[in-house]
A and B are shown apart, each in its own frame.
Chain A
Amino acid sequence: MAFLEIDGLKKRFGSVEILKGIDVDLEKGGFLVLVGPSGCGKSTLLNTIAGLETITEGEIRVDGRTINDLHPSKRDIAMVFQSYALYPNMTVAGNIAFGMEMRGVPAAERQKAIDKVAKVLQIGHLLQRKPSQLSGGQRQRVAMGRALVRDPKLFLFDEPLSNLDAKLRVDMRIEIKRLHATTGTTIVYVTHDQIEAMTLATKIAVMRDGEVQQFGTPAEIYNNPTNIFVADFMGSPAMNLVPATIGGNGGGLSVVLQRDGREPISLPLAKPPAGLSAFQGKPVIFGVRPEALTDPEGAERNASNIATADCHIEVIEPAGSDTFAVTNLGGKAVVARLRADAKIQPGTMTPLAFNLTKAVFFDPATENRIL
């Protein structure tokens, strides 16, 4: 039995269904990230777990206990809000201790708990300040301190890093990850940033329009997306999704990519997914991540299915650590990720290696993965 279980959760506002039957579970000590574009219901889902929103149908259990109808304070959870939600009229110490004060914890015990948390987060010198006197990163720490001091069963984070600048965001991301590793707490975390999702999560739920599109480990989500939406949403730069057709090639199958003004590329598939033979001669969406499309020298040595084809390079983008090359296949701009020192010139025909073991295919009609 999982630590956090959400079964068939539905949420309706009048006739509008915001959450359309969510099934998610998380093991103890796990880190679940709810990710999706804005308006997908991820924050609503978090609020229902917190008890700040009621649910229409379904069940939420934490550690075997159904918490559907419990008041937020009785659910043994702590929450970090997007705006940090620090009480402006109280000091940092007052903010951290407010929950304990409400629960009637004696003052001496409160002080002990504050000191302990302040030590963990290194905010001891800020305890007597008001939130308005703190920087963004410090506020973030205090907000985490307020959650930590409860020692709850479940931590809820609602886009906690979205108000920070880019550098601080990376620092705090690592901090949260370290905190998770050292304290072993169970966390549910909402973000629209797929990099945060990939780096932090042990489990990711990709959401769209109130439905979980895919639920799995970061590696599963990244390598085996179930549909075009997940494939497109996760990863940066995004996966190349190219209209293609499946050709028969003697016994095997091949993927045929159109190019304007030139012969189509035909890439033989060594181990095509079983469902693909039904698509012979029909259009599919060919998905290949930029790092699976590279210069032949930089291609993965032990990949079993690599096909090379000359492509017309339109633009190159040296990014320091890598060089991105843009070519045109099937009428779409396709990004290839090359080594930083790859010898490549825009406007030339250059051989690119397609790592087809990492390629995925989607049905254009249903947008689902062809397995």
Chain B
Amino acid sequence: MSVVTTTARQDTGGTNTKTLNRIVIYGLLALFALFYLMPLFVMLVTSFKTMDEIQNGNMLSLPRAPTFEPWLKAWGETCVGLTCAGIKGYFWNSIKMVVPAVLISTLLGALNGYVLTKWRFRGHTLVFGLMLFACFIPFQSVLLPMATILGSLGRFGVTLQNATGLTFGLGNPTVNLVFVHVVYGLGFTTLFFRNYYEAFPTELIKAAQVDGASFFQIFRRIMLPNSMPIFVVTVIYQFTNIWNDFLFASAYAGTGDSMPMTVALNNVVNTSTGVVEYNVNMAAAMIAALPTLLVYVLAGRYFVRGLMAGAVKG
């Protein structure tokens, strides 16, 4: 936009130059958009083609006889490693991991933000600064320590099972992943909520205190109902990150029945028996990408609004 206004100001004479500028700008934007959308387009068309058409046709051409067969195969039949039951099981694995991880990390982030802005204690800036480390720390550097911790938790689970008959989920790979994602998501969720609550009127908390509301009653009745925009931002951010995570997923749940979608997708593509079924691979990749797309479509409106609220007021 700034390019448009400056050139318009320099050139006082011609509407022609102005139109030309417009054409150049929109042309460039369209080009970049096209470039950006190209892989998605190829994936989408390939996933509706038959193998025959892929091998003999043009990559960019539209499918001559669109078929859902690759999608159905990817969902229910394709081989992931040695088991050939499609990716549906792994899709649910991801859902089972992502929903609790997102909800827990978001709620804890909200609670942290609430404490760090409205119940300040000595050294609150230091605590917040330390939490921000979680945002910047390279995840590779924590792989091994985290593996050790998860190992101890697993052993503790076995002890618990011997004593009570229940592991309480300790040692379960999905539970492990939820734990890891909650821990590493906390830095971001805390940052989001702290900045949002920084601008939240403190008089409301004082009024609620005079009204006799407790710490958690204020949180539940006053803070949370008024945090919709930032709540949506955090959920989208966390959902996308956790759903797309490959590093932790492959490190802590890389084999067996509880592997998440991302790892399974990798295994589908790497399974080398006979021809490479590009259409099935593309369909599987599309299925893997759908939930994040869906979240953006449903809540994208709030996403921009929430980001603005945090940025402008905070």
| A interface, CB within 8 angstroms of B | 47, 50-52, 71-73, 77-79, 81-83, 85, 87-89, 98-99, 102-103, 146
Contact = CB atoms under 8 A, between A and B. Distances in A.
B204 A73 contact: no
Closest 5 CB pairs of A and B: A73-B212, A99-B211, A89-B225, A85-B207, A85-B203
A98 B208 CA distance: 8
B213 A98 contact: yes
B201 A85 contact: yes
Given A87-B222, A89-B225, A98-B213, A82 B203 contact: yes
Given A52-B206, A79-B206, A81-B206, A88 B211 contact: no
B217 interface: yes
A87 B208 CA distance: 9
A81 B204 CA distance: 9
Contacts of A47: 206
Contacts, number: 57
Interface in B220-242: 221-222, 225-226
Contact of A85 (B204, B217, B225): B204
A314 to B, nearest CB: 46
Interface in B181-233: 201, 203-204, 206-213, 217, 221-222, 225-226
18 contacts: A52-B209, A72-B210, A72-B212, A78-B210, A79-B206, A82-B203, A83-B203, A85-B201, A85-B203, A87-B204, A87-B221, A89-B226, A98-B208, A98-B211, A98-B213, A98-B221, A99-B210, A103-B212
A83 B200 CA distance: 12
A312 to B, nearest CB: 52
B200 to A, nearest CB: 10
A102 B213 contact: yes
A79 B226 contact: no
A73 B207 contact: no
Contacts of A83: 201, 203
B268 to A, nearest CB: 46
A102 B212 contact: yes
A99 B212 contact: yes
A47 B207 CA distance: 11
A102 B203 contact: no
